[in-house]
């Protein structure tokens, strides 16, 4: 391996197409099916049209994903609670305050959702429960059920609540490319503030107002390209996947040491020597990997305290986004869509 770099360390941080864009069956387009905002594809009511079955696949994974039973990226499916009540809370709010006997005053749906977000931000979704949220509010878990039917409905509300933090519009004065770059950076920072959001599968979107607002904001920028709906739909899916994949890598790099009890340095040191010992012919067996690693840059000085993997993930995000934007420009020149 070149220099003192850990084997293929620079390959780990990519993850830009962490979940490959879904293939959309053309017969589903324009069929009047509900739109899944973060995917930009039609979702039929009973079965998935043209989606790629099975778990998400990653092009390269050389260790950063192996958190065993403590993996934090397992998919969580929204919309598992009382459909009518959940959608009512999302779109109409909690309604008038209750005056009937019950919990002492001071609780509200908004306060419960805020407390749930705080639990998830600080401890992850695994720690989220009605009891944990109640404790944060100084109440019992049972006291919350007067306001929110259960944990599943709470998760839907939490997700849509935090999406409201994203900007609702972008200035197109400098062109769509500058606006899309700002949108992507804002979304990545949002994911890193709330990494638990990355666990919510878009196979079952929440379908709340802020989810549609997020999509509306992106579409407003993309319409500046002049491309039509047919050309923009796969671009929407790709943009969300690129940003989410890059953010997921950074979030997991931050969580790995805490989740496993092993630092990045110790993890790599323990395996680098073993790789060289167990497979002396590694360069001959994997010449492409060695060739790719030969172009790796040395880790930058940690002047700002950014860990190596996070730094690489940020570089990969910038490079991947630039490639996507270049592709959009090429589509505009072709007049596609």
What are 21-54's pLDDT values in tens digits? 332 332 232 333 344 444 444 444 333 333 333 3
- How many C-alpha atoms does 59 have within 13 Å on its Cβ side? 11
Average pLDDT across the chain, whole number: 78
Q: Which of 16-30, 148-162, 227-241 has the lowest mean pLDDT?
A: 16-30
What are 169-202's pLDDT values in tens digits? 999 999 999 999 999 999 999 999 999 999 998 8
pLDDT tier for residue 305 given thresholds of 50, 70 and 90: confident
Q: The domain at 1-74+175-337 falls in which architecture? A: Orthogonal Bundle (1.10)
Q: Which of 185, 188, 168 is nearest to 177 (CA)?
A: 185
DSSP state letters, 191-238: HHHSGGGGGB-TTS----HHHHHHHHHHHHHHGGGT--HHHHHHHHHH
Who wins on pLDDT, 13 or 316?
A: 316
Going by the DSSP 8-state scheme, the letter that residue 14 receives in this structure is -
Instruction: Check pLDDT > 70 for residue 70.
Output: no
Reading the block at residue 73, the tokens are 């990226």
What pLDDT, on a 0 to 100 scale, did the predictor assign at position 245? 94
What pLDDT, on a 0 to 100 scale, did the predictor assign at position 248? 95
d(CA 117, CA 238): 27
Q: How far is CA 102 from CA 56, 132, 143, 146, in A?
A: 45, 20, 8, 8
Contact 135, 172 (CB under 8 A): no
Domain locations in the chain? 1-74+175-337
Mean pLDDT confidence for 102-117 = 85
What pLDDT, on a 0 to 100 scale, did the predictor assign at position 61? 28
Mean pLDDT confidence for 108-137 = 96
pLDDT above 90: percentage of residues in the chain: 56
Q: How far is CA 60 from CA 23, 75, 319, in A?
A: 21, 19, 17
Q: What angle do CA 32, 34, 38 make, to 5 degrees?
A: 130
pLDDT tier for residue 276 given thresholds of 50, 70 and 90: confident
In sequence order, what E strands does 38-132 have?
Answer: 41-42
Q: How far is CA 172 from CA 72, 183, 218, 219, 321, in A?
A: 37, 11, 12, 12, 18
What are 52-65's pLDDT values in tens digits? 333 333 332 223 33
What pLDDT, on a 0 to 100 scale, did the predictor assign at position 308? 81
pLDDT above 70: percentage of residues in the chain: 72
What pLDDT, on a 0 to 100 scale, did the predictor assign at position 166? 98
Mean pLDDT confidence for 96-104 = 53
Instruction: Check pLDDT > 80 for residue 100.
Output: no
Mean pLDDT confidence for 68-76 = 52
What pLDDT, on a 0 to 100 scale, did the predictor assign at position 303? 61
Instruction: Check pLDDT > 80 for residue 122.
Output: yes
């Amino acid at each position: 391996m070149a220099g003192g770099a850990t084997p293929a360390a620079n390959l780990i941080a990519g993850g830009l197409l962490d979940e490959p864009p879904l293939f959309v069956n053309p017969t589903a387009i324009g069929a009047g099916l509900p739109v899944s905002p973060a995917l930009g594809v039609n979702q039929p009511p009973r079965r998935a049209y043209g989606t790629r079955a099975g778990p998400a696949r990653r092009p390269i994974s050389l260790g950063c994903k192996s958190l065993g039973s403590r993996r934090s990226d397992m998919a969580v499916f929204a919309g598992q609670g009382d459909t009518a009540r959940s959608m009512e809370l999302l779109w109409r709010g909690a309604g008038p305050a209750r005056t009937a006997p019950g919990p002492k005053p001071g609780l509200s749906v908004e306060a419960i959702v805020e407390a749930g977000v705080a639990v998830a931000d600080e401890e992850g979704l695994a720690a989220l429960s009605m009891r944990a949220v109640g404790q944060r509010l100084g109440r019992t878990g049972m006291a919350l059920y007067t306001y929110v039917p259960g944990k599943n409905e709470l998760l839907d509300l939490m997700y849509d609540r935090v999406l409201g933090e994203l900007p609702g519009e972008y200035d197109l004065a400098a062109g769509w490319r500058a606006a899309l770059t700002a949108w992507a950076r804002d979304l990545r920072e949002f994911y890193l503030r709330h990494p638990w959001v990355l666990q919510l599968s878009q196979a079952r979107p929440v379908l709340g107002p802020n989810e549609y607002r997020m999509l509306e904001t992106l579409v407003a920028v993309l319409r500046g390209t002049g491309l039509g709906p047919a050309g923009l739909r796969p671009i929407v899916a790709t943009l969300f996947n690129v940003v989410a994949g890059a953010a997921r890598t950074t979030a997991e790099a931050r969580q790995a040491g805490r989740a496993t009890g092993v630092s990045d340095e110790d993890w790599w040191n323990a395996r680098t020597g073993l790789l060289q010992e167990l497979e002396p012919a590694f360069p001959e067996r994997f010449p492409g990997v060695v060739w790719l690693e030969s172009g790796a840059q040395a880790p930058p000085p940690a002047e700002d305290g950014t860990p190596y993997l996070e730094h690489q993930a940020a570089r990969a995000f910038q490079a991947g986004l630039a490639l996507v934007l270049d592709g959009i420009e090429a589509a505009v020149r072709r007049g596609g869509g």
